[in-house]
Structure formats: C-alpha cells, structure tokens
C-alpha cells in the first residue's frame, strides 16, 4: 500500500532532559504526516476546514515506541490512510531514523490515529467526495 513520506530533523526543543525525543512529540509528527499526505494528493487541511467546513478531531491515538529518537536525527514520517468508513478515517504511521547510505532505516515508533469528520458543532458529516476518492485510491492494493 502506498505511503507518503515526509522528512524532518529532530530539534533540540523536542527532546527531554535525557536527550531523547519527548514521547508526545510523536503525535505532533503524526499530525505533520497527515497534513503532508493530504498536500501530496493536491488537497489541503486548511481548505477542508475553510471551504468545506469540516474538522477532523482525533478520537483515538496509539503509539508503540521501538527505539529512541535523539536531537539532530533525520527522521522519516510514513503516513497512509488505513480505513475510510462513513465519517471515520484512520491513518497509520511509522517513524523511522534515516540511515546512512547503504544501511537500513531504524523503526522508532508506529501508531494510528482515528478521526471523525465533523462540522464546527462536532456533528458528524461526510468527508467531501474528492477527499474521500483520493484517500480511497491510496488504499487500493
């Protein structure tokens, strides 16, 4: 299944006293992955909110930590849609440390977020058709 990959470098402010990325920052990177996935499809989170009056609140988030990320690591955020049913969307993520040439990337964390498409009053509504079509196309084998 295709994934969108976005690269970032770990900033000092993202680390804790032990020099390891603070665990909650992985959820921030998941959000970055979602935004960049939509952008790669020619869609924008901002347009979804402004033009279609849709928001995508997170109703569930999971993250399994495998290995620590540290200051100045180059990381890859892999994001893919894994479920689209009615007003529910699930995204899957993998966070990897980018390896030096000829080596394999190291899996740092993997997780999912579940979202419900809503209006500004938090009432469920359908995802606009062109967003749904683009996400479904990514989910096809």
**Residues with active-site annotation:** 16
Q: Are 127 and 107 in contact (CB under 8 A)?
A: no
How many CA atoms, within 13 angstroms, populate the side-chain half-sphere of residue 135?
A: 27
Q: Is 113 helix (H, G, I), strand (E, B) or coil?
A: strand
Position of tokens 């999912």? Answer: 112
């Amino acid at each position: 299944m295709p994934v969108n990959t976005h690269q970032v470098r770990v900033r000092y402010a993202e680390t804790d006293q032990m020099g390891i990325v603070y665990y909650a920052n992985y959820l921030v990177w998941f959000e970055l992955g979602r935004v960049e996935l939509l952008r790669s499809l020619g869609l924008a989170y901002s347009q979804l909110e402004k033009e279609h009056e849709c928001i995508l609140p997170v109703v569930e988030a999971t993250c399994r930590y495998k290995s620590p990320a540290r200051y100045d690591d180059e990381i890859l955020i892999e994001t893919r849609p894994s479920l689209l049913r009615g007003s529910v969307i699930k995204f899957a993520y993998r966070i990897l440390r980018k390896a030096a040439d000829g080596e394999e990337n190291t899996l740092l964390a993997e997780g999912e977020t579940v979202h419900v498409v809503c209006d500004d009053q938090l009432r469920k509504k359908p995802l606009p058709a062109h967003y749904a079509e683009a996400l479904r196309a990514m989910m096809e084998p």
